[in-house]
Amino acid sequence: MTTTSWDDLMASLGLEPSTRPRCGPTAVAECGTPAGSDRHYRLGEKPCDPCRIAKNAANTRWRRAKQLANGCPPRPPAECGTLRGFRAHRWRKEQPCEPCRLAYNAWQAECRAAA
Protein backbone atom coordinates (compact mmCIF):
# COMPACT_ATOMS: atom_id res chain seq x y z
CA MET A 1 0.00 0.00 0.00
CA THR A 2 1.41 3.39 -0.91
CA THR A 3 1.20 6.50 1.17
CA THR A 4 -1.05 8.17 -1.36
CA SER A 5 -3.63 5.39 -1.43
CA TRP A 6 -3.73 5.26 2.38
CA ASP A 7 -4.25 9.01 2.61
CA ASP A 8 -6.93 8.82 -0.04
CA LEU A 9 -8.61 6.04 1.88
CA MET A 10 -8.52 7.98 5.13
CA ALA A 11 -9.83 11.08 3.36
CA SER A 12 -12.64 9.07 1.78
CA LEU A 13 -13.58 7.87 5.27
CA GLY A 14 -13.73 11.49 6.40
CA LEU A 15 -10.60 11.06 8.52
CA GLU A 16 -7.59 13.28 8.64
CA PRO A 17 -4.92 11.76 6.40
CA SER A 18 -1.48 10.94 7.78
CA THR A 19 -2.33 11.49 11.43
CA ARG A 20 -2.25 7.78 12.31
CA PRO A 21 0.73 5.47 12.18
CA ARG A 22 0.43 2.90 9.44
CA CYS A 23 0.53 -0.43 11.21
CA GLY A 24 -0.47 -2.70 8.39
CA PRO A 25 -3.71 -2.98 6.50
CA THR A 26 -5.95 -3.26 9.57
CA ALA A 27 -8.18 -0.39 10.53
CA VAL A 28 -7.32 1.73 13.55
CA ALA A 29 -8.09 -0.20 16.72
CA GLU A 30 -10.95 1.19 18.72
CA CYS A 31 -10.62 2.35 22.29
CA GLY A 32 -12.06 -0.02 24.87
CA THR A 33 -10.51 -3.08 23.21
CA PRO A 34 -7.23 -4.90 23.89
CA ALA A 35 -6.11 -3.86 20.41
CA GLY A 36 -6.88 -0.27 21.33
CA SER A 37 -4.57 -0.61 24.31
CA ASP A 38 -1.83 -2.01 22.08
CA ARG A 39 -2.31 0.95 19.77
CA HIS A 40 -1.71 3.37 22.65
CA TYR A 41 1.52 1.55 23.49
CA ARG A 42 2.63 1.60 19.86
CA LEU A 43 2.10 5.34 19.85
CA GLY A 44 4.08 5.64 23.08
CA GLU A 45 0.99 6.73 24.99
CA LYS A 46 -0.52 5.55 28.23
CA PRO A 47 -3.67 3.58 27.43
CA CYS A 48 -6.89 5.39 28.23
CA ASP A 49 -9.13 3.89 30.93
CA PRO A 50 -11.46 1.91 28.62
CA CYS A 51 -8.44 0.42 26.85
CA ARG A 52 -6.65 -0.37 30.10
CA ILE A 53 -9.72 -2.11 31.49
CA ALA A 54 -10.27 -4.06 28.29
CA LYS A 55 -6.65 -5.17 28.24
CA ASN A 56 -6.72 -6.19 31.91
CA ALA A 57 -9.87 -8.20 31.35
CA ALA A 58 -8.34 -9.89 28.33
CA ASN A 59 -5.17 -10.68 30.29
CA THR A 60 -7.18 -12.12 33.16
CA ARG A 61 -9.21 -14.28 30.80
CA TRP A 62 -6.05 -15.41 29.08
CA ARG A 63 -4.31 -16.26 32.37
CA ARG A 64 -7.31 -18.22 33.55
CA ALA A 65 -7.59 -20.12 30.30
CA LYS A 66 -3.90 -20.97 30.57
CA GLN A 67 -4.23 -22.10 34.18
CA LEU A 68 -7.14 -24.34 33.26
CA ALA A 69 -5.20 -25.73 30.31
CA ASN A 70 -2.33 -26.58 32.67
CA GLY A 71 -4.76 -28.35 35.01
CA CYS A 72 -4.22 -25.72 37.71
CA PRO A 73 -7.04 -24.66 39.96
CA PRO A 74 -8.49 -21.37 38.67
CA ARG A 75 -7.18 -19.49 41.70
CA PRO A 76 -4.27 -19.98 44.03
CA PRO A 77 -5.30 -20.05 47.68
CA ALA A 78 -5.78 -16.55 49.05
CA GLU A 79 -5.04 -15.57 52.62
CA CYS A 80 -7.85 -14.41 54.84
CA GLY A 81 -7.80 -10.78 55.85
CA THR A 82 -6.93 -9.63 52.33
CA LEU A 83 -8.99 -8.46 49.41
CA ARG A 84 -8.05 -11.63 47.57
CA GLY A 85 -9.23 -13.62 50.55
CA PHE A 86 -12.54 -11.84 50.42
CA ARG A 87 -12.88 -12.54 46.70
CA ALA A 88 -11.95 -16.16 47.25
CA HIS A 89 -14.86 -16.48 49.70
CA ARG A 90 -17.15 -14.90 47.15
CA TRP A 91 -15.82 -17.16 44.47
CA ARG A 92 -16.48 -20.22 46.64
CA LYS A 93 -19.94 -18.78 47.29
CA GLU A 94 -19.19 -18.54 51.00
CA GLN A 95 -19.99 -15.86 53.53
CA PRO A 96 -16.72 -13.90 53.85
CA CYS A 97 -15.09 -14.22 57.27
CA GLU A 98 -14.65 -11.15 59.46
CA PRO A 99 -10.99 -10.35 58.58
CA CYS A 100 -11.81 -10.63 54.88
CA ARG A 101 -14.89 -8.47 55.26
CA LEU A 102 -12.81 -5.80 57.01
CA ALA A 103 -10.16 -5.95 54.31
CA TYR A 104 -12.83 -5.50 51.69
CA ASN A 105 -14.38 -2.58 53.56
CA ALA A 106 -10.97 -0.93 53.86
CA TRP A 107 -10.37 -1.38 50.15
CA GLN A 108 -13.76 0.12 49.33
CA ALA A 109 -13.04 3.11 51.56
CA GLU A 110 -9.74 3.54 49.76
CA CYS A 111 -11.49 3.45 46.40
CA ARG A 112 -13.99 6.04 47.52
CA ALA A 113 -11.18 8.26 48.78
CA ALA A 114 -9.36 7.94 45.47
CA ALA A 115 -12.49 8.72 43.41
CB of 53 to Zn ion, least distance (A): 10
> Helix or strand or coil: residue 20?
coil
The DSSP call for residue 97 is P
Report the residue number, 71 or 77, with the smaller CB distance to Zn ion.
77
The CA-atom distances, in angstroms, between 32 and each of 27, 41, 75 are: 15, 14, 26
CB of 27 to Zn ion, least distance (A): 15
Report the residue number, 34 or 51, with the smaller CB distance to Zn ion.
51
Report the residue number, 16 or 49, with the smaller CB distance to Zn ion.
49
CB of 56 to Zn ion, least distance (A): 13
Q: Which residues of this chain interact with Zn ion, rule CB under 5 A?
A: 31, 36, 48, 51, 80, 85, 97, 100
The CA-atom distances, in angstroms, between 10 and each of 2, 20, 34, 42 are: 12, 10, 23, 20
CB of 9 to Zn ion, least distance (A): 22
Report the residue number, 7 or 97, with the smaller CB distance to Zn ion.
97
The CA-atom distances, in angstroms, between 36 and each of 39, 74, 105 are: 5, 27, 33
